[in-house]
């Protein structure tokens, strides 16, 4: 009897051990599968580890006309969310969301019944693993304004998410402008003035790629006016910066200096470092045109120092411009050093948005 008991114990122990190893193996496989889509429902709370540039995916079933609010709390993570419609279009704004009481919130309204895919992507300079806590904060019937806002955001993302592509054709850019006009109408119905201003700004950027003309300038000015109407100084500063650049490109240098100066003042007032650095570089380009290389170099240097705080690839632009000035002065060694720094800055830059696709 004792022998049978021992044998039974050994058999059970081996069985449990194999079961544990099997579960462990399954867990590891799950962690290593980046394409796994987990269901997410109201009342469910998900807590997971995530590493930089990793993407987690969740399926949310929604009826047509439903509003959904997502809440994300983070520890040592810079998380960004997107919500894909059944036709794989992003319904969330491409924007850094500031947490309120430690929680980032985003929402959308479903136009059709189906399964929507929520994506959580880890960005930023955090090294190693971080954790997040995810839940659906609310599902309810959407208002007309919420439906229109989501429709506008979808159109905006379709029109401008890929505007930065170098090889966009004139036909593609015209299609982007058409999407922008449709988005504008939806945002107007949603009474979303800030989104109207942002759309006008991006339409101006696209228009400038087709050739800077009266339409480009009018779109920038309309964006600035909308931003001013709601005291959105960030939006005003960014559109003004790009308007100044447009004036430079068509040779209206006095207007370029004036608008750059206005944008620089706003950027410094609200501590908008990226815009401040961009404007300083543009002022350097204006004074380079006038042949005032000493003044231009001062602006380029200030721009480079600010960019050093947050963007390697943007810093490469003023560094490259400093190299051109040194080259023009005949200082080959100094020029080579600036060009080397510019190349290194590009190489160091990580593609922050590569995991959103």
What is the rounded CA–CA span in Å between residue 215 and residue 208? Answer: 9
18: left (phi over 0), alpha (psi -120 to 50) or beta: alpha
* Residue 291, number of CB atoms within 10 A of its CB: 9
Nearest to 282 by CA among 256, 314, 310, 305: 256
Give the pLDDT confidence score for residue 165 in this predicted structure. 58
Give the pLDDT confidence score for residue 99 in this predicted structure. 87
Q: What is the largest CA-CA distance in the chain?
A: 102
Give the pLDDT confidence score for residue 30 in this predicted structure. 36
| Structure-derived torsion over alpha carbons of residues 80, 148, 231, 274, reported in degrees to the nearest 10 | 30
* Residue 119, number of CB atoms within 10 A of its CB: 19
Give the pLDDT confidence score for residue 1 in this predicted structure. 40
Q: Between 2.60.120.380, 1.10.3720.10, 2.130.10.10, 1.10.760.10, what CATH number should domain 37-142 receive?
A: 2.60.120.380
Q: For the chain, which residues score pLDDT lower than 50? A: 1-32, 163, 351-357
Nearest to 80 by CA among 28, 126, 128, 29: 126
Give the pLDDT confidence score for residue 345 in this predicted structure. 86
Nearest to 114 by CA among 92, 81, 143, 89: 89
Quick check: 36 and 30 in contact, CB under 8 A? Answer: yes
The helix (run of H) or strand (run of E) holding residue 123 is strand 114-123
Quick check: 68 and 76 in contact, CB under 8 A? Answer: no
Quick check: 54 and 91 in contact, CB under 8 A? Answer: no
pTM above 0.75, yes or no: yes
* Residue 324, number of CB atoms within 10 A of its CB: 16
30-74, pLDDT tens digit by residue? 344 657 999 999 999 999 999 888 899 999 999 999 999 999 999
Give the pLDDT confidence score for residue 124 in this predicted structure. 60
What is the rounded CA–CA span in Å between residue 268 and residue 17? Answer: 63
Give the pLDDT confidence score for residue 3 in this predicted structure. 38
Looking at CATH, the fold of the domain delimited by 147-350 is given as 1.25.40
Domain with CATH 2.60.120.380 in the chain: 37-142
Domain with CATH 1.25.40.10 in the chain: 147-350
């Amino acid at each position: 009897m004792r022998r049978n008991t021992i044998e039974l114990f050994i058999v059970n122990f081996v069985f449990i051990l194999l079961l544990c190893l099997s579960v462990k193996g399954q867990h590891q496989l799950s962690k290593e599968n980046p394409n796994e889509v987990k269901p997410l429902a109201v009342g469910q709370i998900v807590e997971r580890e995530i590493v930089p540039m990793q993407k987690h995916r969740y399926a949310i079933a929604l009826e047509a006309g439903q509003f959904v609010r997502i809440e994300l709390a983070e520890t040592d993570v810079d998380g960004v969310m997107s919500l894909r419609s059944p036709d794989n279009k992003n319904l969330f704004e491409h924007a850094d969301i500031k947490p309120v009481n430690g929680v980032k919130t985003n929402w959308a309204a479903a136009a059709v019944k189906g399964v929507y895919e929520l994506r959580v992507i880890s960005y930023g300079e955090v090294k190693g693993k971080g954790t997040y806590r995810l839940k659906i904060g609310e599902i309810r019937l959407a208002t007309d304004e919420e439906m229109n806002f989501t429709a506008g955001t979808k159109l905006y993302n379709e029109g401008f998410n890929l505007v930065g592509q170098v090889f966009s054709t004139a036909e593609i850019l015209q299609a982007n402008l058409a999407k922008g006009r449709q988005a504008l109408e939806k945002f107007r119905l949603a009474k979303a003035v800030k989104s109207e201003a942002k759309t006008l700004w991006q339409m101006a950027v696209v228009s400038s790629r087709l050739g800077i003309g009266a339409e480009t300038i009018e779109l920038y000015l309309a964006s600035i006016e909308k931003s001013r109407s709601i005291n959105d100084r960030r939006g005003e500063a960014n559109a003004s910066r790009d308007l100044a650049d447009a004036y430079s490109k068509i040779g209206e240098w006095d207007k370029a200096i004036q608008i750059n100066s206005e944008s620089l003042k706003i950027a410094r007032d609200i501590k908008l470092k990226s815009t401040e650095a961009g404007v300083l570089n543009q002022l350097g380009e204006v004074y380079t045109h006038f042949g005032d290389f000493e003044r231009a170099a001062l602006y380029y240097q200030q721009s480079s120092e600010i960019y050093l705080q947050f963007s390697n690839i943007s810093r490469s632009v003023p560094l490259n411009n400093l190299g051109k000035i040194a080259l023009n002065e005949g200082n080959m060694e100094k020029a080579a050093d600036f060009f080397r720094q510019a190349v290194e800055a590009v190489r160091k830059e990580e593609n922050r948005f590569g995991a959103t696709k």
